[in-house]
Amino acid sequence: MRGYVVVLITVPVEKGQELADFIVENKLGACVNVVPEVSSVYWWKGKVEKDKEALLVVKTLASKFGQLVEKVKEVHPYTVPEIIALPIVAGNEDYLRWIEESIG
């Protein structure tokens, strides 16, 4: 079985759907869930910031992660976008096969 990952990406709320479409249309992810608004608290340039962001939950192949990071950084409005991958250690085999068939 190939490696599968869930990738978390935060983006300005108004850009969430646009970036999700970009990821799927370019076969960088088989599915992207758009959580329309999360409250983020983080350090930026020496001070604590608070923002409303959209959270993208991308299901993809581990082998696609490098390309996903590269392409998302080209269109993402942030200087340092959050793009982190978490391994899928187990899952519905039919769903995992669908990920591979969709973008593999």
What is each CA distance from 70 to 65, 67, 94, in whole angstroms? 9, 5, 29
Question: Per-residue pLDDT tens for 87-98?
Answer: 999 999 999 999
Could you give the C-alpha distances from 27 to 57, 60, 72, 100, in angstroms and in order? 15, 9, 12, 11
CA distance 81 to 32: 17
Q: Is 54 left (phi over 0), alpha (psi -120 to 50) or beta?
A: beta
In the numeric block, the tokens 């299901």 are attached to 59
* Residue 100 banded pLDDT, cuts 50, 70, 90: very high
Residue 104's pLDDT is 81
pLDDT tens track for 44-81: 999 999 999 999 999 999 999 999 999 999 999 999 99
For 4-103, CATH gives 3.30.70.120
Is the pTM for the entire model greater than 0.75? yes
Domain-wise residue ranges, the chain: 4-103
CA triple 18-20-22, angle to 5 deg = 70
- The pLDDT, as a whole number, for residue 101 is 95
